[in-house]
């Protein structure tokens, strides 16, 4: 199997700013959150397509997303918390929790930039917080605090 950064996170390889973990799911802060409080929720087993995640496990991912999403609302007070499953980027099923302050936040408008006269999309425009800043975001969203 090809190298999977999310499987590495599940195995505890390398740094991660963990918000929540149980036997089957995990929630952590991405390296470049669109806004403070943005999170990624994954099933622990490596499954590429979200639609291939078994029903009971998909439901557990959604419950984790619901609980952390409520905490995002409480702590960061966005207008809405969006949930996006697009399937690109890392090929390990994941659900993005997106604090939204504007209707276009769900479209990841922040990823658009112009280079060589053409509109591009990527992580380049996003800030890259330090690990300490990511850890602070994760701590602020822990469910047991």
Do the bridges between strand 112-115 and strand 95-100 make them parallel or antiparallel, or are there none, so unpaired? unpaired
Q: Does 4 bind Zn ion (CB under 5 A)?
A: yes
CB of 29 to Zn ion, least distance (A): 18
* Greatest Cα pair distance in the chain: 48
Binding positions for Zn ion, 75-114, rule CB under 5 A? 92
85 within 8 A of 92, measured Cβ to Cβ: no
Q: Does 46 bind Zn ion (CB under 5 A)?
A: yes
Degrees to nearest 5, angle at CA 108 with 114 and 143 = 145
Burial of 99 per CB tally in 10 Å (0-12, 13-18, 19+): buried
Which ranges of the chain would DSSP assign to H, the alpha helix?
5-11, 55-76, 131-141
Q: Does 6 bind Zn ion (CB under 5 A)?
A: yes
Q: Does 47 bind Zn ion (CB under 5 A)?
A: no
CB of 108 to Zn ion, least distance (A): 22
Question: Which range, of 14-22, 28-36, 38-46, 69-77, touches Zn ion by CB under 5 A?
Answer: 38-46
Distance CA 18, CA 40 (A): 10
Q: Which is nearer to Zn ion, 6 or 20 (CB)?
A: 6
Q: Which is nearer to Zn ion, 5 or 125 (CB)?
A: 5
CB of 124 to Zn ion, least distance (A): 24
Interface size with Zn ion, residues (CB under 5 A): 5
Binding site for Zn ion (CB under 5 A): 4, 6-7, 46, 92
């Amino acid at each position: 199997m090809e190298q999977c950064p999310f499987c590495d996170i599940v195995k505890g390889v390398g740094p991660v700013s963990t918000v929540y973990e149980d036997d089957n799911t995990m929630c952590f802060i991405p390296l470049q959150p669109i806004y403070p409080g943005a999170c990624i929720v994954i099933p622990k087993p490596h499954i590429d397509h979200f639609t291939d995640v078994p029903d009971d496990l998909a439901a557990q991912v959604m419950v984790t997303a619901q609980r952390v999403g409520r905490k995002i609302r409480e702590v960061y007070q966005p207008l809405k918390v969006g949930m996006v499953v697009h399937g690109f980027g890392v090929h390990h099923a994941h659900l993005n929790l997106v604090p939204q302050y504007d209707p276009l936040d769900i479209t990841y408008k922040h990823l658009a930039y112009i280079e060589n006269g053409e509109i591009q999309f990527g992580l380049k425009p996003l800030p890259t917080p330090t690990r300490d800043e990511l850890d602070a975001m994760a701590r602020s969203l822990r469910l047991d605090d």
